[in-house]
Amino acid sequence: MTSRTPLIAGNWKLHNTIAQSVTLATALRAELDGTSGVEIAVAPVATALHPVASALEGSPIALAAQNTHWESRGAFTGELGPALLADVGCRYVIVGHSERRQLFGETEEGVRKKVRAVQAAGLVPIVCVGETLAQREEDATLGIVLGQVDAALAGNDASRLVIAYEPVWAIGTGKTASPADAQAVHAAIRGRLSAVIGELAQRLQILYGGSVKAENARDLLSQPDIDGALVGGASLEAKSFTSIVRAAL
């Protein structure tokens, strides 16, 4: 483990009613209150943000949003903006998740604008990058991932964000990058950040995501440039998410 404080973030995706979200948040809080040495966040569905914020108030678990528009107000039917996410109590916003890129047409330019808007609202973007299986098989992983990093950072403050490296082929599939393969990509991302912001890059958290579970978390998190995890499926149960948080200590 590095000297950076790890961050374990749960992405609840399109799961859980308000009542279920509050029950999960309350169970996490019961397990994790008093925990130090690791930062923790959960990203419920938008309708549950406010009640989960109340359930987590005063706990070490921060609130994250799964997405945002880049505008904070105006004629954008159906959207939520960073100012509203700050208002509801979010600290983090996940930006550019591969499901948004693949299923909802999220572009590099959209990701860049969202990073800017999230930072302008005083929140921290968790910027997701990652290659598809075809790209990995073509040996294009680093080019794709570093290209996504460059695009997200262009003109933005590279010192106030979290990067999540999530190989697309590992998300929700049960397949995980080997700790060594993940470390190689993380080191390359940190190298790219160093080229932009120098020593400050040593302070940034670079998370791994893709079928992280209690059983594989410790091996991944022990890599020098893996500073935490973005967790989907295993964040939906208090026991498994708590085990991953503890693996980061």
Task: Catalog residues that contact ligand PEP under the rule CB under 6 A.
Answer: 11, 166, 171-172, 209-212, 230-234
Catalytic residue among 39, 106, 131, 166: 166
Is the CB of 44 or the CB of 233 nearer to ligand PEP? 233
SS3 for the chain is CCCCCCEEEEECCCCCCHHHHHHHHHHHHHHHCCCCCCEEEEECCHHHHHHHHHHHCCCCEEEEECCCCCCCCCCCCCCCCHHHHHHHCEEEEEECCHHHHHHCCCCHHHHHHHHHHHHHCCCEEEEEECCCHHHHHCCCHHHHHHHHHHHHHCCCCCCCCEEEECCHHHCCCCCCCCHHHHHHHHHHHHHHHHHHHHHHHHHCCEEEECCCCHHHHHHHHCCCCCCEEEECHHHCCHHHHHHHHHHCC
Q: Please state the closest distance from residue 25 (CB atom) to ligand PEP, in A.
A: 18
- The answer to whether residue 137 is catalytic is no
Quick one: 81 or 209, whose CB is closer to ligand PEP? 209
CB of 40 to ligand PEP, least distance (A): 15
Catalytic residue among 69, 97, 99, 186: 97
Check if 131 is active-site. no
Residue 83 or 91: which CB sits closer to ligand PEP? 91
Please identify, using beta-carbon distances, which residue of 110 and 209 lies nearer to ligand PEP: 209
Q: How far is the CB of 230 from ligand PEP (least distance, A)?
A: 5
What's the closest the beta carbon of residue 203 comes to ligand PEP, in angstroms?
23
Query: Residue 64 or 72: which CB sits closer to ligand PEP?
Result: 64
Q: For residue 115, what are the CA distances in angstroms to 71, 119, 190?
A: 11, 6, 18
Alpha-carbon gap, residue 96 to 164, rounded angstroms:
10
- Residue nearest ligand PEP, Cβ-based: 232
Measured from the CB of residue 171, what is the shortest distance to ligand PEP in angstroms?
4
The catalytic residues are: 97, 166
